[in-house]
Amino acid sequence: MADPLREPGFLSEHQLRAVYAPGDLFLTACPGSGKTRAAGVRVARLAQDGLRAAACSYTNVGVEQIRRVVDRDLRQTLDPRHFVGTLHRFLLRFVLYPFGHLVTGSPSTPRLISDEAIGEDVIFNRDPRIRLPLYRFRFRPDGSLIVRSTPARFRFDAETATRLGQADALRLKTRMARGGILSFDDAMYWSLRVLEEHQEVARAVAARFDELLVDEAQDTSELQLACLQRLSATGALRSLVLVGDLEQSISAYTGASRTGCESLAAARGLSSMEFTENHRSSQRICDVAVHFCSRHTADTAVGRDRGCEIEPELFLYPADDPPSSVEYFGQRLRELDENPVEAAVLARRNDLVDELNRTTPTVEVKPRPLAIGRAVSAFRGGGTVGRRQLEAIDRIIAFCAWDVSDITELEPEARWAIRQGTMELLRAAPDLTLDLRSFIRGCATALGAVVECLTDEPAHAPGRVLTSAQKQEDHVAVDVLVVPAGELRAQTVHDVKGESRSAVLVVVDRLRSRRHGAQSALWSRPLAGETVPEEDAEELRIAFVALSRAERYCLVALPDDSGAEVISAFEDSGFRRR
Protein backbone atom coordinates (compact mmCIF):
# COMPACT_ATOMS: atom_id res chain seq x y z
CA MET A 1 0.00 0.00 0.00
CA ALA A 2 1.24 3.48 -0.79
CA ASP A 3 2.07 5.22 2.48
CA PRO A 4 -0.30 8.22 2.91
CA LEU A 5 2.21 9.76 5.32
CA ARG A 6 4.66 10.10 2.44
CA GLU A 7 2.18 11.59 -0.04
CA PRO A 8 1.37 15.19 0.95
CA GLY A 9 -2.27 16.04 0.32
CA PHE A 10 -3.40 12.43 0.02
CA LEU A 11 -4.99 12.58 3.48
CA SER A 12 -5.40 15.37 5.99
CA GLU A 13 -4.10 15.09 9.54
CA HIS A 14 -7.65 14.40 10.74
CA GLN A 15 -8.09 11.59 8.24
CA LEU A 16 -4.72 10.05 9.12
CA ARG A 17 -5.75 9.90 12.78
CA ALA A 18 -8.74 7.78 11.78
CA VAL A 19 -6.60 5.49 9.60
CA TYR A 20 -4.20 4.63 12.42
CA ALA A 21 -6.52 4.87 15.44
CA PRO A 22 -6.99 1.74 17.57
CA GLY A 23 -10.09 -0.38 17.03
CA ASP A 24 -13.54 0.13 18.54
CA LEU A 25 -13.99 3.63 17.14
CA PHE A 26 -17.01 5.87 16.50
CA LEU A 27 -16.01 8.39 13.83
CA THR A 28 -18.58 11.15 13.35
CA ALA A 29 -17.84 13.45 10.47
CA CYS A 30 -19.36 16.44 8.69
CA PRO A 31 -20.27 16.40 4.97
CA GLY A 32 -17.29 16.49 2.65
CA SER A 33 -14.89 15.47 5.41
CA GLY A 34 -13.39 12.57 3.44
CA LYS A 35 -14.57 10.03 6.01
CA THR A 36 -15.20 7.33 3.40
CA ARG A 37 -11.77 7.95 1.90
CA ALA A 38 -10.21 7.55 5.33
CA ALA A 39 -12.26 4.37 5.84
CA GLY A 40 -10.92 2.93 2.59
CA VAL A 41 -7.32 3.65 3.56
CA ARG A 42 -7.93 2.15 7.00
CA VAL A 43 -9.16 -1.09 5.41
CA ALA A 44 -6.08 -1.24 3.19
CA ARG A 45 -3.84 -0.57 6.20
CA LEU A 46 -5.46 -3.41 8.15
CA ALA A 47 -5.00 -5.77 5.23
CA GLN A 48 -1.35 -4.77 4.86
CA ASP A 49 -0.86 -5.52 8.57
CA GLY A 50 -2.19 -9.04 8.02
CA LEU A 51 -5.55 -8.40 9.69
CA ARG A 52 -8.89 -9.51 8.23
CA ALA A 53 -11.18 -6.56 7.48
CA ALA A 54 -14.85 -6.34 6.59
CA ALA A 55 -15.84 -2.92 5.25
CA CYS A 56 -19.57 -2.32 4.88
CA SER A 57 -21.65 0.65 3.81
CA TYR A 58 -25.37 1.27 3.76
CA THR A 59 -25.28 2.25 0.07
CA ASN A 60 -23.61 0.91 -3.07
CA VAL A 61 -22.22 4.43 -3.60
CA GLY A 62 -20.29 4.15 -0.34
CA VAL A 63 -19.07 0.66 -1.23
CA GLU A 64 -17.77 1.84 -4.60
CA GLN A 65 -15.98 4.77 -2.95
CA ILE A 66 -14.17 2.42 -0.56
CA ARG A 67 -13.26 0.08 -3.41
CA ARG A 68 -12.01 2.99 -5.50
CA VAL A 69 -9.64 4.10 -2.75
CA VAL A 70 -8.27 0.59 -2.25
CA ASP A 71 -8.13 -0.50 -5.90
CA ARG A 72 -7.38 2.69 -7.82
CA ASP A 73 -5.76 5.11 -5.40
CA LEU A 74 -3.72 2.60 -3.40
CA ARG A 75 -3.52 -0.10 -6.08
CA GLN A 76 -3.98 -2.79 -3.50
CA THR A 77 -5.80 -6.08 -4.11
CA LEU A 78 -7.72 -7.55 -1.20
CA ASP A 79 -7.67 -11.33 -0.95
CA PRO A 80 -10.80 -13.41 -0.18
CA ARG A 81 -10.20 -13.19 3.57
CA HIS A 82 -11.57 -9.64 3.42
CA PHE A 83 -15.03 -8.31 2.55
CA VAL A 84 -16.12 -5.04 0.96
CA GLY A 85 -19.84 -4.61 0.29
CA THR A 86 -23.12 -3.37 1.71
CA LEU A 87 -24.05 -4.40 5.22
CA HIS A 88 -27.12 -6.04 3.68
CA ARG A 89 -24.85 -8.19 1.50
CA PHE A 90 -22.61 -9.02 4.48
CA LEU A 91 -25.54 -10.44 6.44
CA LEU A 92 -26.84 -12.33 3.42
CA ARG A 93 -23.50 -13.97 2.66
CA PHE A 94 -22.40 -14.92 6.15
CA VAL A 95 -25.72 -15.37 7.98
CA LEU A 96 -28.91 -15.73 5.94
CA TYR A 97 -27.87 -17.80 2.93
CA PRO A 98 -25.96 -20.48 4.85
CA PHE A 99 -28.15 -20.56 7.97
CA GLY A 100 -31.51 -18.97 7.16
CA HIS A 101 -33.23 -22.34 6.84
CA LEU A 102 -32.70 -22.84 10.58
CA VAL A 103 -35.30 -20.17 11.38
CA THR A 104 -37.53 -19.86 8.30
CA GLY A 105 -38.53 -23.52 8.21
CA SER A 106 -37.72 -23.68 4.51
CA PRO A 107 -35.68 -26.67 3.32
CA SER A 108 -34.01 -24.53 0.64
CA THR A 109 -31.70 -21.53 0.58
CA PRO A 110 -33.79 -18.34 0.91
CA ARG A 111 -34.54 -16.52 -2.35
CA LEU A 112 -34.93 -12.73 -2.35
CA ILE A 113 -37.52 -10.90 -4.44
CA SER A 114 -38.26 -7.21 -4.90
CA ASP A 115 -41.26 -5.56 -3.27
CA GLU A 116 -43.20 -5.29 -6.50
CA ALA A 117 -42.77 -9.02 -7.16
CA ILE A 118 -44.38 -10.09 -3.89
CA GLY A 119 -47.91 -9.81 -5.23
CA GLU A 120 -49.60 -10.23 -1.83
CA ASP A 121 -51.96 -7.69 -0.25
CA VAL A 122 -53.33 -7.35 3.24
CA ILE A 123 -57.11 -6.87 3.13
CA PHE A 124 -58.78 -4.83 5.86
CA ASN A 125 -62.20 -5.54 7.41
CA ARG A 126 -62.72 -8.30 4.81
CA ASP A 127 -63.31 -5.59 2.22
CA PRO A 128 -61.27 -6.26 -0.97
CA ARG A 129 -61.44 -2.55 -1.78
CA ILE A 130 -59.36 -1.71 1.30
CA ARG A 131 -55.93 -3.27 0.89
CA LEU A 132 -52.24 -2.54 1.35
CA PRO A 133 -49.32 -4.28 -0.36
CA LEU A 134 -47.63 -6.71 2.01
CA TYR A 135 -44.28 -4.96 1.61
CA ARG A 136 -45.60 -1.91 3.47
CA PHE A 137 -45.53 -4.01 6.65
CA ARG A 138 -41.96 -4.06 7.94
CA PHE A 139 -40.51 -6.21 10.69
CA ARG A 140 -39.29 -4.68 13.93
CA PRO A 141 -36.43 -6.37 15.81
CA ASP A 142 -38.91 -7.84 18.33
CA GLY A 143 -40.81 -9.65 15.55
CA SER A 144 -43.76 -7.25 15.44
CA LEU A 145 -44.70 -5.41 12.25
CA ILE A 146 -45.11 -1.73 11.53
CA VAL A 147 -46.55 0.34 8.69
CA ARG A 148 -44.47 3.50 8.55
CA SER A 149 -46.66 5.32 6.02
CA THR A 150 -49.84 4.79 4.02
CA PRO A 151 -50.70 6.09 0.55
CA ALA A 152 -52.66 9.28 0.08
CA ARG A 153 -56.41 8.75 0.30
CA PHE A 154 -56.00 5.42 2.11
CA ARG A 155 -58.76 4.98 4.67
CA PHE A 156 -56.50 4.38 7.70
CA ASP A 157 -53.42 6.11 9.04
CA ALA A 158 -50.20 4.15 9.55
CA GLU A 159 -50.84 3.37 13.21
CA THR A 160 -54.34 2.05 12.57
CA ALA A 161 -53.20 0.06 9.53
CA THR A 162 -50.52 -1.55 11.68
CA ARG A 163 -53.02 -2.54 14.36
CA LEU A 164 -55.68 -3.87 12.01
CA GLY A 165 -53.43 -5.63 9.52
CA GLN A 166 -50.61 -7.00 11.68
CA ALA A 167 -51.95 -10.51 12.22
CA ASP A 168 -52.72 -11.17 8.54
CA ALA A 169 -49.45 -9.59 7.39
CA LEU A 170 -47.45 -11.74 9.81
CA ARG A 171 -49.23 -14.86 8.61
CA LEU A 172 -48.47 -14.05 4.96
CA LYS A 173 -44.82 -13.20 5.65
CA THR A 174 -44.33 -16.41 7.65
CA ARG A 175 -45.86 -18.44 4.84
CA MET A 176 -43.52 -16.78 2.32
CA ALA A 177 -40.50 -17.52 4.51
CA ARG A 178 -41.45 -21.19 4.83
CA GLY A 179 -41.60 -21.28 1.05
CA GLY A 180 -38.07 -19.90 0.88
CA ILE A 181 -39.10 -16.47 -0.45
CA LEU A 182 -38.15 -13.24 1.32
CA SER A 183 -38.25 -9.54 0.54
CA PHE A 184 -34.98 -7.63 0.79
CA ASP A 185 -36.12 -6.00 4.03
CA ASP A 186 -37.46 -9.21 5.60
CA ALA A 187 -34.11 -10.86 4.92
CA MET A 188 -32.59 -8.67 7.61
CA TYR A 189 -35.18 -9.79 10.16
CA TRP A 190 -34.54 -13.47 9.51
CA SER A 191 -30.78 -12.81 9.71
CA LEU A 192 -31.39 -11.35 13.16
CA ARG A 193 -33.38 -14.42 14.14
CA VAL A 194 -30.45 -16.64 13.14
CA LEU A 195 -28.04 -14.60 15.27
CA GLU A 196 -30.44 -14.55 18.25
CA GLU A 197 -31.40 -18.22 18.22
CA HIS A 198 -28.07 -19.77 17.23
CA GLN A 199 -25.29 -18.38 19.38
CA GLU A 200 -22.66 -20.58 17.76
CA VAL A 201 -23.41 -18.98 14.38
CA ALA A 202 -23.28 -15.48 15.87
CA ARG A 203 -19.90 -16.17 17.50
CA ALA A 204 -18.46 -17.67 14.32
CA VAL A 205 -19.53 -14.67 12.22
CA ALA A 206 -18.27 -12.19 14.83
CA ALA A 207 -14.88 -13.90 14.97
CA ARG A 208 -14.49 -14.18 11.19
CA PHE A 209 -12.87 -10.72 10.85
CA ASP A 210 -10.45 -8.75 12.98
CA GLU A 211 -12.44 -5.57 12.33
CA LEU A 212 -15.95 -4.85 11.11
CA LEU A 213 -16.18 -1.28 9.73
CA VAL A 214 -19.60 0.20 8.94
CA ASP A 215 -19.68 3.37 6.83
CA GLU A 216 -22.82 5.56 6.61
CA ALA A 217 -23.70 4.09 10.00
CA GLN A 218 -26.36 6.73 10.63
CA ASP A 219 -28.54 5.17 7.90
CA THR A 220 -28.17 1.58 9.10
CA SER A 221 -31.66 0.12 9.54
CA GLU A 222 -32.90 -0.85 12.98
CA LEU A 223 -32.81 -4.53 11.97
CA GLN A 224 -29.19 -4.24 10.83
CA LEU A 225 -28.28 -2.35 13.99
CA ALA A 226 -29.85 -5.14 16.01
CA CYS A 227 -27.72 -7.66 14.07
CA LEU A 228 -24.59 -5.62 14.87
CA GLN A 229 -25.59 -5.48 18.53
CA ARG A 230 -26.03 -9.26 18.57
CA LEU A 231 -22.60 -9.81 16.99
CA SER A 232 -21.02 -7.44 19.50
CA ALA A 233 -22.74 -9.16 22.41
CA THR A 234 -21.02 -12.47 21.63
CA GLY A 235 -17.70 -11.07 22.84
CA ALA A 236 -16.01 -12.51 19.75
CA LEU A 237 -16.07 -9.29 17.69
CA ARG A 238 -12.55 -7.92 18.09
CA SER A 239 -13.12 -4.41 16.72
CA LEU A 240 -16.16 -2.44 15.57
CA VAL A 241 -15.75 0.88 13.76
CA LEU A 242 -18.78 3.05 12.98
CA VAL A 243 -18.32 5.89 10.49
CA GLY A 244 -21.02 8.43 9.73
CA ASP A 245 -22.68 11.77 10.27
CA LEU A 246 -25.64 11.73 12.63
CA GLU A 247 -26.88 14.95 11.01
CA GLN A 248 -27.33 13.03 7.75
CA SER A 249 -29.63 10.36 9.20
CA ILE A 250 -32.54 10.53 6.72
CA SER A 251 -33.69 6.91 6.42
CA ALA A 252 -36.36 6.68 9.11
CA TYR A 253 -38.52 4.64 6.73
CA THR A 254 -36.16 1.72 7.45
CA GLY A 255 -36.19 2.37 11.18
CA ALA A 256 -32.77 4.02 11.02
CA SER A 257 -32.17 6.70 13.63
CA ARG A 258 -29.30 8.62 15.10
CA THR A 259 -30.28 7.38 18.56
CA GLY A 260 -30.00 3.76 17.44
CA CYS A 261 -26.50 4.40 16.14
CA GLU A 262 -25.54 6.23 19.34
CA SER A 263 -26.94 3.40 21.48
CA LEU A 264 -24.82 0.81 19.69
CA ALA A 265 -21.71 2.97 20.11
CA ALA A 266 -22.42 3.42 23.82
CA ALA A 267 -23.18 -0.27 24.42
CA ARG A 268 -19.95 -1.26 22.71
CA GLY A 269 -17.97 1.46 24.49
CA LEU A 270 -16.57 2.93 21.28
CA SER A 271 -14.11 5.79 21.58
CA SER A 272 -15.15 8.97 19.77
CA MET A 273 -13.46 10.92 17.01
CA GLU A 274 -14.96 13.88 15.14
CA PHE A 275 -14.20 15.45 11.75
CA THR A 276 -15.30 19.08 11.37
CA GLU A 277 -13.27 20.05 8.29
CA ASN A 278 -15.33 20.26 5.10
CA HIS A 279 -13.31 19.64 1.93
CA ARG A 280 -16.34 20.07 -0.35
CA SER A 281 -18.28 23.29 0.23
CA SER A 282 -17.51 26.98 0.47
CA GLN A 283 -17.62 28.57 3.89
CA ARG A 284 -20.71 30.53 2.85
CA ILE A 285 -22.56 27.27 2.18
CA CYS A 286 -21.36 25.76 5.46
CA ASP A 287 -22.63 28.87 7.27
CA VAL A 288 -26.21 28.47 6.00
CA ALA A 289 -26.38 24.66 6.09
CA VAL A 290 -25.62 24.57 9.83
CA HIS A 291 -29.05 26.07 10.57
CA PHE A 292 -30.65 22.78 9.51
CA CYS A 293 -28.73 20.51 11.87
CA SER A 294 -28.28 20.24 15.62
CA ARG A 295 -24.68 21.48 15.55
CA HIS A 296 -24.31 25.10 16.65
CA THR A 297 -21.02 25.80 14.90
CA ALA A 298 -20.62 25.73 11.14
CA ASP A 299 -18.17 23.26 9.64
CA THR A 300 -14.79 24.71 8.66
CA ALA A 301 -14.36 24.87 4.89
CA VAL A 302 -10.83 23.78 3.93
CA GLY A 303 -11.20 22.59 0.33
CA ARG A 304 -10.39 24.28 -2.95
CA ASP A 305 -13.72 26.18 -2.97
CA ARG A 306 -13.57 27.29 0.67
CA GLY A 307 -13.23 30.96 -0.27
CA CYS A 308 -15.86 31.03 -3.05
CA GLU A 309 -17.76 34.30 -2.68
CA ILE A 310 -21.02 33.25 -4.40
CA GLU A 311 -23.76 33.88 -1.86
CA PRO A 312 -26.45 31.30 -1.10
CA GLU A 313 -29.62 32.58 -2.76
CA LEU A 314 -33.38 32.48 -2.35
CA PHE A 315 -35.90 32.39 -5.21
CA LEU A 316 -39.69 32.55 -5.07
CA TYR A 317 -41.41 30.45 -7.74
CA PRO A 318 -45.11 30.61 -8.69
CA ALA A 319 -46.78 28.01 -6.48
CA ASP A 320 -48.59 26.51 -9.47
CA ASP A 321 -45.41 26.30 -11.57
CA PRO A 322 -42.49 24.58 -9.73
CA PRO A 323 -40.56 23.91 -12.99
CA SER A 324 -40.03 27.66 -13.35
CA SER A 325 -37.50 27.36 -10.50
CA VAL A 326 -35.43 25.00 -12.65
CA GLU A 327 -35.48 27.48 -15.54
CA TYR A 328 -34.31 30.23 -13.21
CA PHE A 329 -31.57 27.99 -11.81
CA GLY A 330 -30.31 27.33 -15.32
CA GLN A 331 -30.21 31.08 -15.97
CA ARG A 332 -28.19 31.69 -12.80
CA LEU A 333 -25.75 28.93 -13.71
CA ARG A 334 -25.08 30.65 -17.03
CA GLU A 335 -24.60 34.00 -15.31
CA LEU A 336 -22.18 32.45 -12.80
CA ASP A 337 -20.39 30.42 -15.50
CA GLU A 338 -21.17 27.16 -13.70
CA ASN A 339 -21.47 23.93 -15.68
CA PRO A 340 -25.07 22.58 -15.62
CA VAL A 341 -23.75 19.04 -16.00
CA GLU A 342 -22.13 19.35 -12.58
CA ALA A 343 -25.25 20.81 -10.94
CA ALA A 344 -28.16 19.11 -9.20
CA VAL A 345 -31.86 19.91 -8.77
CA LEU A 346 -33.15 18.32 -5.57
CA ALA A 347 -36.55 17.82 -3.98
CA ARG A 348 -37.91 15.88 -1.03
CA ARG A 349 -40.54 13.73 -2.75
CA ASN A 350 -40.84 11.80 -6.00
CA ASP A 351 -44.08 13.50 -7.00
CA LEU A 352 -42.39 16.91 -6.92
CA VAL A 353 -39.38 15.48 -8.80
CA ASP A 354 -41.72 14.25 -11.57
CA GLU A 355 -43.41 17.64 -11.64
CA LEU A 356 -40.10 19.47 -11.92
CA ASN A 357 -39.04 17.18 -14.76
CA ARG A 358 -42.48 17.40 -16.38
CA THR A 359 -42.45 13.61 -16.52
CA THR A 360 -45.55 12.63 -14.55
CA PRO A 361 -46.87 9.66 -16.59
CA THR A 362 -50.29 10.22 -18.15
CA VAL A 363 -51.08 6.52 -17.61
CA GLU A 364 -49.83 4.06 -15.01
CA VAL A 365 -46.69 2.16 -16.03
CA LYS A 366 -44.94 -0.40 -13.82
CA PRO A 367 -41.41 0.58 -12.69
CA ARG A 368 -39.54 -1.98 -14.83
CA PRO A 369 -41.06 -1.14 -18.23
CA LEU A 370 -40.93 2.54 -17.30
CA ALA A 371 -37.19 2.27 -16.57
CA ILE A 372 -36.54 0.55 -19.92
CA GLY A 373 -38.78 2.97 -21.80
CA ARG A 374 -37.10 6.05 -20.35
CA ALA A 375 -33.66 4.63 -21.15
CA VAL A 376 -34.72 3.77 -24.71
CA SER A 377 -36.07 7.28 -25.22
CA ALA A 378 -32.75 8.79 -24.10
CA PHE A 379 -30.77 6.31 -26.21
CA ARG A 380 -32.83 6.90 -29.35
CA GLY A 381 -32.96 10.65 -28.87
CA GLY A 382 -29.20 11.05 -28.88
CA GLY A 383 -29.18 12.00 -25.21
CA THR A 384 -27.12 10.59 -22.38
CA VAL A 385 -28.22 7.32 -20.83
CA GLY A 386 -27.28 7.76 -17.19
CA ARG A 387 -25.43 5.26 -15.03
CA ARG A 388 -28.50 4.62 -12.87
CA GLN A 389 -30.60 3.97 -15.99
CA LEU A 390 -28.14 1.36 -17.23
CA GLU A 391 -27.89 -0.26 -13.81
CA ALA A 392 -31.70 -0.46 -13.60
CA ILE A 393 -31.79 -2.46 -16.85
CA ASP A 394 -28.87 -4.59 -15.65
CA ARG A 395 -30.96 -5.57 -12.64
CA ILE A 396 -34.00 -6.38 -14.79
CA ILE A 397 -31.94 -8.71 -16.98
CA ALA A 398 -30.31 -10.42 -13.98
CA PHE A 399 -33.70 -10.90 -12.32
CA CYS A 400 -35.22 -12.38 -15.48
CA ALA A 401 -32.25 -14.65 -16.17
CA TRP A 402 -31.24 -15.89 -12.72
CA ASP A 403 -33.70 -14.40 -10.22
CA VAL A 404 -30.88 -12.19 -8.94
CA SER A 405 -31.81 -8.68 -7.82
CA ASP A 406 -28.41 -7.69 -6.40
CA ILE A 407 -25.97 -7.92 -9.30
CA THR A 408 -23.02 -7.50 -6.94
CA GLU A 409 -23.63 -11.18 -6.13
CA LEU A 410 -22.43 -12.09 -9.63
CA GLU A 411 -18.91 -12.58 -10.92
CA PRO A 412 -17.37 -9.76 -13.00
CA GLU A 413 -17.74 -11.79 -16.20
CA ALA A 414 -21.46 -12.20 -15.61
CA ARG A 415 -21.90 -8.49 -14.86
CA TRP A 416 -20.06 -7.65 -18.08
CA ALA A 417 -22.31 -10.01 -20.05
CA ILE A 418 -25.36 -8.37 -18.50
CA ARG A 419 -24.14 -4.91 -19.49
CA GLN A 420 -23.68 -6.11 -23.07
CA GLY A 421 -27.23 -7.42 -22.92
CA THR A 422 -28.43 -4.03 -21.66
CA MET A 423 -26.91 -2.27 -24.65
CA GLU A 424 -28.42 -4.87 -27.02
CA LEU A 425 -31.83 -4.39 -25.39
CA LEU A 426 -31.62 -0.64 -25.97
CA ARG A 427 -30.83 -1.27 -29.64
CA ALA A 428 -33.47 -3.98 -30.15
CA ALA A 429 -36.37 -2.27 -28.36
CA PRO A 430 -39.34 -1.47 -30.63
CA ASP A 431 -40.19 1.94 -32.05
CA LEU A 432 -41.54 4.50 -29.62
CA THR A 433 -44.29 5.48 -32.07
CA LEU A 434 -46.16 2.26 -31.20
CA ASP A 435 -48.93 2.32 -28.66
CA LEU A 436 -47.60 1.90 -25.13
CA ARG A 437 -48.83 -1.66 -24.66
CA SER A 438 -47.29 -2.86 -27.94
CA PHE A 439 -44.04 -1.13 -27.04
CA ILE A 440 -43.86 -2.89 -23.66
CA ARG A 441 -44.65 -6.26 -25.25
CA GLY A 442 -41.94 -5.64 -27.84
CA CYS A 443 -39.48 -4.84 -25.04
CA ALA A 444 -40.44 -8.13 -23.37
CA THR A 445 -39.60 -9.96 -26.60
CA ALA A 446 -36.24 -8.17 -26.82
CA LEU A 447 -35.59 -8.97 -23.15
CA GLY A 448 -36.28 -12.64 -23.84
CA ALA A 449 -33.75 -12.68 -26.69
CA VAL A 450 -31.10 -11.09 -24.47
CA VAL A 451 -31.74 -13.52 -21.61
CA GLU A 452 -31.54 -16.53 -23.96
CA CYS A 453 -27.92 -15.57 -24.63
CA LEU A 454 -27.20 -15.75 -20.90
CA THR A 455 -29.01 -18.91 -19.81
CA ASP A 456 -30.97 -21.82 -21.24
CA GLU A 457 -33.44 -21.74 -18.35
CA PRO A 458 -34.59 -18.18 -17.49
CA ALA A 459 -35.87 -17.79 -13.94
CA HIS A 460 -38.79 -15.59 -15.02
CA ALA A 461 -40.81 -15.22 -18.20
CA PRO A 462 -40.05 -11.83 -19.84
CA GLY A 463 -43.78 -11.13 -20.21
CA ARG A 464 -44.22 -11.39 -16.46
CA VAL A 465 -41.19 -9.20 -15.77
CA LEU A 466 -42.40 -6.46 -18.14
CA THR A 467 -46.16 -6.32 -17.67
CA SER A 468 -48.60 -4.19 -19.64
CA ALA A 469 -52.28 -3.28 -19.35
CA GLN A 470 -55.05 -3.01 -21.91
CA LYS A 471 -55.70 0.66 -21.17
CA GLN A 472 -52.15 1.43 -22.32
CA GLU A 473 -53.28 0.76 -25.90
CA ASP A 474 -54.87 4.23 -25.90
CA HIS A 475 -51.54 6.00 -25.42
CA VAL A 476 -48.56 6.40 -27.75
CA ALA A 477 -45.34 5.27 -26.09
CA VAL A 478 -43.42 8.38 -27.08
CA ASP A 479 -45.96 10.62 -25.33
CA VAL A 480 -45.58 8.76 -22.05
CA LEU A 481 -41.92 7.75 -22.01
CA VAL A 482 -39.93 10.47 -23.73
CA VAL A 483 -38.47 12.90 -21.22
CA PRO A 484 -38.47 16.55 -22.38
CA ALA A 485 -35.02 17.76 -23.38
CA GLY A 486 -33.04 19.68 -20.80
CA GLU A 487 -29.70 19.66 -19.06
CA LEU A 488 -31.09 19.88 -15.54
CA ARG A 489 -32.98 16.86 -14.23
CA ALA A 490 -34.48 16.81 -10.75
CA GLN A 491 -33.69 14.03 -8.26
CA THR A 492 -34.67 13.23 -4.71
CA VAL A 493 -32.24 14.15 -1.97
CA HIS A 494 -31.75 10.44 -1.23
CA ASP A 495 -30.57 9.91 -4.82
CA VAL A 496 -27.45 12.04 -4.32
CA LYS A 497 -26.54 10.94 -0.81
CA GLY A 498 -22.76 10.80 -0.55
CA GLU A 499 -22.19 12.77 -3.76
CA SER A 500 -20.92 16.29 -4.56
CA ARG A 501 -22.21 18.88 -7.04
CA SER A 502 -20.73 22.26 -8.01
CA ALA A 503 -24.17 23.88 -7.64
CA VAL A 504 -27.45 22.75 -6.08
CA LEU A 505 -31.04 23.92 -6.37
CA VAL A 506 -33.27 22.76 -3.51
CA VAL A 507 -36.96 23.12 -4.36
CA VAL A 508 -39.21 23.41 -1.31
CA ASP A 509 -42.65 21.99 -1.98
CA ARG A 510 -45.87 23.95 -1.93
CA LEU A 511 -48.62 23.19 0.58
CA ARG A 512 -50.04 19.73 -0.18
CA SER A 513 -51.54 18.69 3.16
CA ARG A 514 -53.21 20.80 5.83
CA ARG A 515 -52.42 18.07 8.34
CA HIS A 516 -48.64 18.22 7.75
CA GLY A 517 -48.47 21.93 6.91
CA ALA A 518 -46.21 23.70 4.44
CA GLN A 519 -42.68 22.38 4.01
CA SER A 520 -41.36 25.95 3.82
CA ALA A 521 -42.84 26.76 7.24
CA LEU A 522 -41.14 23.74 8.80
CA TRP A 523 -37.79 24.51 7.21
CA SER A 524 -37.94 28.11 8.42
CA ARG A 525 -38.54 27.27 12.08
CA PRO A 526 -34.91 26.68 13.11
CA LEU A 527 -33.93 29.76 11.10
CA ALA A 528 -36.27 31.78 13.32
CA GLY A 529 -34.80 30.23 16.46
CA GLU A 530 -37.74 27.92 17.13
CA THR A 531 -37.40 24.43 18.55
CA VAL A 532 -38.38 21.64 16.17
CA PRO A 533 -39.89 18.49 17.71
CA GLU A 534 -37.98 15.25 17.22
CA GLU A 535 -40.65 13.78 14.92
CA ASP A 536 -39.94 16.60 12.44
CA ALA A 537 -36.15 16.67 12.84
CA GLU A 538 -35.51 14.35 9.90
CA GLU A 539 -37.17 16.82 7.52
CA LEU A 540 -34.57 19.38 8.55
CA ARG A 541 -31.76 16.89 8.16
CA ILE A 542 -32.95 16.33 4.60
CA ALA A 543 -32.50 20.06 4.00
CA PHE A 544 -29.03 19.81 5.53
CA VAL A 545 -28.06 16.91 3.28
CA ALA A 546 -29.38 18.70 0.19
CA LEU A 547 -27.53 21.96 0.82
CA SER A 548 -24.30 20.25 1.84
CA ARG A 549 -24.01 18.54 -1.58
CA ALA A 550 -23.05 21.94 -3.05
CA GLU A 551 -19.46 22.99 -3.56
CA ARG A 552 -19.78 26.60 -4.79
CA TYR A 553 -23.39 27.72 -5.15
CA CYS A 554 -26.73 26.80 -3.58
CA LEU A 555 -30.19 28.15 -4.33
CA VAL A 556 -33.33 27.49 -2.31
CA ALA A 557 -36.65 27.91 -4.15
CA LEU A 558 -39.77 28.61 -2.09
CA PRO A 559 -43.35 28.80 -3.40
CA ASP A 560 -44.41 32.42 -3.69
CA ASP A 561 -47.36 31.86 -1.34
CA SER A 562 -44.97 31.28 1.57
CA GLY A 563 -45.61 33.56 4.51
CA ALA A 564 -43.63 36.77 4.89
CA GLU A 565 -42.14 35.49 8.14
CA VAL A 566 -40.88 32.38 6.34
CA ILE A 567 -39.19 34.40 3.64
CA SER A 568 -37.66 36.76 6.20
CA ALA A 569 -36.27 33.83 8.19
CA PHE A 570 -34.35 32.58 5.14
CA GLU A 571 -33.09 36.07 4.30
CA ASP A 572 -31.95 36.72 7.87
CA SER A 573 -30.02 33.43 7.90
CA GLY A 574 -27.78 34.25 4.96
CA PHE A 575 -29.85 33.53 1.84
CA ARG A 576 -29.82 36.49 -0.53
CA ARG A 577 -33.17 36.98 -2.25
CA ARG A 578 -33.13 37.71 -5.95
173 assigned to some structural domain = yes
Mean pLDDT of 367-371: 88
pTM (predicted TM-score): 0.77
Is the confidence at residue 119, as pLDDT, over 50?
Answer: yes
- The band of 361, judged by pLDDT with boundaries at 50, 70 and 90, is low
**512-539 pLDDT tens trace:** 665 556 788 888 888 888 888 887 888 8
How high is the pLDDT of residue 6? 47
Mean pLDDT of 554-569: 93
> 161 with 86, same domain?
no
> 571 with 531, same domain?
yes
> 116 with 168, same domain?
yes
How high is the pLDDT of residue 72? 87
437 assigned to some structural domain = yes
> 339 with 404, same domain?
no
- The band of 360, judged by pLDDT with boundaries at 50, 70 and 90, is low
CA 525/CA 206 separation, integer angstroms: 44
Q: Cβ atoms within 10 A of the Cβ of 118, count?
A: 18
CATH number assigned to the domain comprising residue 65: 3.40.50.300
271 assigned to some structural domain = yes
Domain end among 275, 300, 335: 275
* Cβ-based burial of 361 (10 A; exposed 0-12, middle 13-18, buried ≥19): middle
Domain hosting 444: range is 367-481
Amino acid at 149: S
Is the confidence at residue 365, as pLDDT, over 90?
Answer: no
**541-554 pLDDT tens trace:** 999 999 999 999 99
How high is the pLDDT of residue 487? 67
97 assigned to some structural domain = no
**447-465 pLDDT tens trace:** 999 999 999 999 999 999 9
> 228 with 83, same domain?
yes
Least confident segment among 204-213, 310-319, 327-336, 404-413: 404-413
Domain end among 252, 275, 298: 275
- The band of 575, judged by pLDDT with boundaries at 50, 70 and 90, is very high
Is the confidence at residue 423, as pLDDT, over 90?
Answer: yes
Mean model confidence pLDDT for the chain: 89
102 assigned to some structural domain = no
Q: Is the dihedral of CA 136, 142, 143, 145 positive or negative?
A: negative
The rounded radius of gyration (Å) of the Cα atoms in the chain is 24
CA 81/CA 89 separation, integer angstroms: 16
Is the confidence at residue 2, as pLDDT, over 70?
Answer: no
> 470 with 371, same domain?
yes
348 assigned to some structural domain = yes
> 443 with 514, same domain?
no
> 287 with 255, same domain?
no
> 475 with 371, same domain?
yes
CA 268/CA 347 separation, integer angstroms: 37
- The band of 8, judged by pLDDT with boundaries at 50, 70 and 90, is very low
Best CA proximity match to 550, nearest among 336, 355, 359: 336
How high is the pLDDT of residue 134? 93
CA 570/CA 211 separation, integer angstroms: 45
Least confident segment among 16-30, 167-181, 201-215, 516-530: 516-530
> 376 with 462, same domain?
yes
103 assigned to some structural domain = no
How high is the pLDDT of residue 310? 96
How high is the pLDDT of residue 383? 60
Domain end among 451, 481, 511: 481
> 210 with 142, same domain?
no
> 202 with 70, same domain?
yes
95 assigned to some structural domain = no
The count of domains in the chain is: 4
- The band of 5, judged by pLDDT with boundaries at 50, 70 and 90, is very low
Is the confidence at residue 30, as pLDDT, over 70?
Answer: yes
